[in-house]
Amino acid sequence: MVKSSMVYTKEILDEFASYLVRKNKSLILIYVCAGIILACSIAMFILGEIVDGVLYVLLGAFFACYGLILKLIIKQGHKKIYGNYDEFEFEEDFMTIRTYTKTGEQLTAGTINYKNILKLEENKDKAYIFVSKYNAYIIEKSKFSAGEYEGIIEKIQSKIGSS
């Protein structure tokens, strides 16, 4: 068994929100639509359809700002967990997670079988263990020895989605 913990600071959760927005592939389609709508608004202004042009500009601006809106919504949801921390215990086939408030009161405890993890993604200093599209447990690579971290990641990757 390997143990680790993670304190959820504003900076870590803001970084995670930005990561989610950057990884959201549907944003590309939304930005393309925003461009088309804004081009249509220009056409409306040229054709003298001022009211329609203004409506198209407003609609295009909404779509153009969708990534920012999504990021703000995610950040708002994270505010209630600033300062909370998770303790992880990584076993052969599952991980145990205990969540505590900043004052040390235990909120939840449970286990997740690695085969039930949606996906695992890494950046230079963290790994995100996704249990749903927008919810992930965050682990810091620096909290492990080199061999421990790689072993855990390999174990999880090999079992994700297996029956």
Give pLDDT tens digits for 36-67. Answer: 888 988 988 888 888 888 998 888 888 888 87
Q: Quote the pLDDT of residue 66.
A: 81
Residues in the chain: 163
Q: Quote the pLDDT of residue 87.
A: 94
| Mean pLDDT to the nearest integer, 118-125 | 91
Q: Residue 109 corresponds to which tokens in the numbers above?
A: 């405890």
CA nearest to 22, candidates 54, 79, 68:
68
Alpha helix positions (H), the chain: 10-23, 26-46, 50-64, 66-78, 146-159
Kindly report, residue by residue over 6-45, the tens digit of the pLDDT.
Answer: 998 889 988 888 888 888 777 788 888 888 888 988 988 8
CA nearest to 5, candidates 85, 120, 100:
85
d(CA 14, CA 160): 26
d(CA 130, CA 144): 19
d(CA 56, CA 42): 9
| pLDDT confidence bin for 163, thresholds 50/70/90 | low
**What is the signed CA dihedral for 69, 75, 78, 82, rounded to 10 degrees?**
-170
Alpha helix positions (H), 79-145: none
Global pTM?
Answer: 0.75
| pLDDT confidence bin for 109, thresholds 50/70/90 | very high
Q: Quote the pLDDT of residue 117.
A: 94
Q: Residue 95 corresponds to which tokens in the numbers above?
A: 């991980």
